[in-house]
Structure 1
Amino acid sequence: MTILCRPFSLTVFTLSLILTCSFASCISKEPADTNDPAYFNAIDGNDIPLTVPEAGDWRYSHNEKRQHLDAYKKSNPVRQGPNHSTIYLMPVGDFTDLQQAALKQVREYVEIFFQMRTVLLPAVTDSIATVVASREHDGHTQLLASYLLDSLLKGKCPSDGIALLALSAKDLYPKDSWNYVFGLASYTKRVGVSSIYRLQDEHLDTTNYKTCLRRLANISSHEIGHMFSIHHCVYASCVMNGSNGLRETDRSPLRLCSECQKKLFWNIAYNNRRRLKQLADFCKNNGLQHDWQIFKADQDAI
């Protein structure tokens, strides 16, 4: 298991995926069409420059190197192949009807984002984890993230899965000395776990549904992007920017910057224009106005 610690405040920490894993069974030959100069020349100018990081921001305390496209290609990134071509999302625990609706919409978003078949699996119980690997913290139950990763999810990734991301209804923690964690992942086992709990400000209702949906879309695409070996972006404002907490997550766009789009396109070789239209339509149809405007600017440019 490989993890990276990210400070959230003086006493609260989160985890992010380390980008060191590849597995031979997910490597396929390079797609025939890995160039779309007209598209990328059109959208390059819409990249949003990064602002100067403030104390507490991810980039303030992390000096990460920029991952250029050539470096990405040489990194032996995780690739889909005939035996690994589906992304799986697994709910863990009991979800309200509204939470289930959000998970279904996030499945749709992930499928659009990666242009790859995405399946929302039936929910599995967290009862065993609640009994043997949990604690009470600030008046609610937290599950031990490493237990979910190493025990509950062990062997659960379907044979055709390239990635399995579990989404817990309950809050998570990585060890007793930490307050909470947003997620934890093992690249060698092709599984990761995150939680909806903090993304909904502890309780989901109609007033914060859109906020929660956007956060789920942001974090799911970010973490699965890591599973495709894309590093944190330090080039422009991007969904792959590192984040120390919800303040930064809410600030980052759902859009991949042009450089990170080139990596994903080189890897998967989808139709850029179709993907862009679907992303814009998703945001417009679900009231994510700011992100719709960002995607629409790319549509106008092409």
Structure 2
Amino acid sequence: MQTVQHSEQTLKTALTSKNPTLVSQYEKLDAGERRLLNKAFKPDNDLFGPITLHSESDWIISHPEAPQDFEEFFSDPSGKAPSPEKRSIYIQCIGSLGNTRIIRHILRFLKKKKPRDAFCIVGITMIDLYPRDSWNFVFGQASLTDGVGIFSFARYGSDFYSSHYEGKVKELQRVSSSDYSIFDNYYVPEVTSILLLHSCKTLTHEIGHIFGLRHCQWLACLMQGSYHLEEADWCPLNLCPICLCKLQCAVGFNIIDRYQALVRWIDDESANSPGLSRGHSWEDHVNLPKSVEAFKEWKEWIIRCLAVVQK
């Protein structure tokens, strides 16, 4: 096992940049926020560790990419940010979609159905997804330009490798762009704590791409690329300070408010209706059971971050 180690100066520059305007902007942040973010380049910190490499098949080795620091993110003309007119994130369950599993077909469909006030619309499905028929599966894919994405939680289900798995593509069907039946009878697996954790990682990672965040190569981070399920498991649910600054720049939020809201979400177990039928209509309002056992370690990490910010 190896780690990707950057010098303190490299990490500091990636976070604050050498641009005087951006340095001044960083220095105007709340003192507590800066205290937390500065942990990025403190070698003895216990909140933000280096990226660990486990094998030659890890994403950072097999898919070399140029790293994106904060200044590059800030200066990117293609970067996306919500506006007063387009500030909603829509999440759409997808059932059969003509039983296609090819990503470009689904993204094209979602683009047509994107509401006027949507910053982005993301589809979630239990169908295995492929960029092309001849390619390996992917967990998801997003289009920054179009503000659409599609993500599969198929391989997160405990029964995926069973011959009785209900999310498999059967025979192809053609549907018109006005046919909403594709939202019917979507497959809902047993909603476990681990499935919820994996799904949250995939969904927030891909939405991060829609905001313009590229794969992180600085520290252990939600925005690391992952080539297989085991590697996705190794990635944390939290953003590193550099990627957190990028998201803060795009969305605008107070870190204390954000972390407190995340703790409240973990603590809120009110959505716990255990009885679910196998088929649902897109018009149904379904309260899925919310099991947060797998989030306890992350909650403890957030509380430690809040202690630093509120010191």
- Verify same fold: TM over 0.5: yes
Aligned counterparts of 1:210 and 1:34: Cα–Cα separation in 2: 39
Partner SS for 1:154 = helix
Please give the TM-score of this superposition, normalised by the length of structure 2.
0.66
Answer whether contact 1:183 1:193 (CA < 8 A) is retained.
yes
Answer whether contact 2:87 2:117 (CA < 8 A) is retained.
yes
> Partner residue of 1:154?
111
- Whose radius of gyration is greater, 1 or 2? 2
Partner SS for 2:129 = strand
- Summarize the Cα distance change of 1:226–1:58 in structure 2 as closer, same or farther, 3 Å threshold: same
Aligned counterparts of 2:157 and 2:120: Cα–Cα separation in 1: 24
* 1:71-86 alignment, distance < 5 Å: 71-76=72-77, 77-86=79-88
Q: Does 1:300 align with 2:307?
A: yes
- Summarize the Cα distance change of 1:155–1:221 in structure 2 as closer, same or farther, 3 Å threshold: same
Partner SS for 1:162 = strand
Aligned counterparts of 2:265 and 2:128: Cα–Cα separation in 1: 28
Q: Does 1:190 align with 2:173?
A: no
| Number of aligned positions between the proteins | 224
Q: Does 1:205 align with 2:207?
A: no
Alpha carbon RMSD of aligned pairs, Å?
2.2
* 1:3-82 alignment, distance < 5 Å: 35-43=29-37, 44=39, 45=45, 46-76=47-77, 77-82=79-84
- Summarize the Cα distance change of 1:68–1:161 in structure 2 as closer, same or farther, 3 Å threshold: same
Structure showing the higher strand proportion among its residues = 1
Instruction: Note the C-alpha offset of 1:284.
Output: 5.0
> Partner residue of 1:25?
none
* 1:111-260 alignment, distance < 5 Å: 126=96, 128-130=97-99, 133=100, 143-150=101-108, 152-201=109-158, 202=160, 204-205=189-190, 209-260=192-243
Instruction: Note the C-alpha offset of 1:234.
Output: 0.8
Q: Does 1:269 align with 2:239?
A: no
Answer whether contact 1:83 1:160 (CA < 8 A) is retained.
yes
- Summarize the Cα distance change of 1:179–1:58 in structure 2 as closer, same or farther, 3 Å threshold: closer
Aligned counterparts of 2:155 and 2:128: Cα–Cα separation in 1: 7
Instruction: Note the C-alpha offset of 1:90.
Output: 0.6
Partner SS for 2:196 = helix
Answer whether contact 1:58 1:243 (CA < 8 A) is retained.
yes
Partner SS for 1:213 = helix
Aligned counterparts of 2:208 and 2:31: Cα–Cα separation in 1: 22
Partner SS for 2:89 = strand
- Summarize the Cα distance change of 1:52–1:171 in structure 2 as closer, same or farther, 3 Å threshold: closer
Aligned counterparts of 2:71 and 2:137: Cα–Cα separation in 1: 36
Aligned counterparts of 1:273 and 1:73: Cα–Cα separation in 2: 22
Partner SS for 1:185 = strand
Aligned counterparts of 1:235 and 1:276: Cα–Cα separation in 2: 22
- Summarize the Cα distance change of 1:149–1:196 in structure 2 as closer, same or farther, 3 Å threshold: same
Answer whether contact 1:129 1:147 (CA < 8 A) is retained.
no
Answer whether contact 1:57 1:244 (CA < 8 A) is retained.
yes
Instruction: Note the C-alpha offset of 1:156.
Output: 0.8
- Summarize the Cα distance change of 1:83–1:277 in structure 2 as closer, same or farther, 3 Å threshold: same
Counterpart of 1:262 in structure 2: which amino acid?
C
Instruction: Note the C-alpha offset of 1:79.
Output: 1.0
Instruction: In structure 2, list runs of 5 or more residues that go unmatched.
Output: 1-24, 40-44, 166-188, 269-291
Answer whether contact 1:67 1:233 (CA < 8 A) is retained.
yes
Aligned counterparts of 1:63 and 1:178: Cα–Cα separation in 2: 19
Partner SS for 1:39 = helix
Partner SS for 2:256 = helix
Identity of aligned residues (%): 28
Aligned counterparts of 1:258 and 1:229: Cα–Cα separation in 2: 16
Answer whether contact 1:90 1:164 (CA < 8 A) is retained.
yes
Counterpart of 1:212 in structure 2: which amino acid?
L
Answer whether contact 2:70 2:246 (CA < 8 A) is retained.
yes
Instruction: Note the C-alpha offset of 1:154.
Output: 3.5
* Greater RCO structure (CA 8 Å; 6+ sep): 1
Aligned counterparts of 2:221 and 2:266: Cα–Cα separation in 1: 16
Answer whether contact 1:281 1:292 (CA < 8 A) is retained.
no
Answer whether contact 2:91 2:121 (CA < 8 A) is retained.
yes
Partner SS for 2:67 = coil
- Summarize the Cα distance change of 1:258–1:158 in structure 2 as closer, same or farther, 3 Å threshold: same
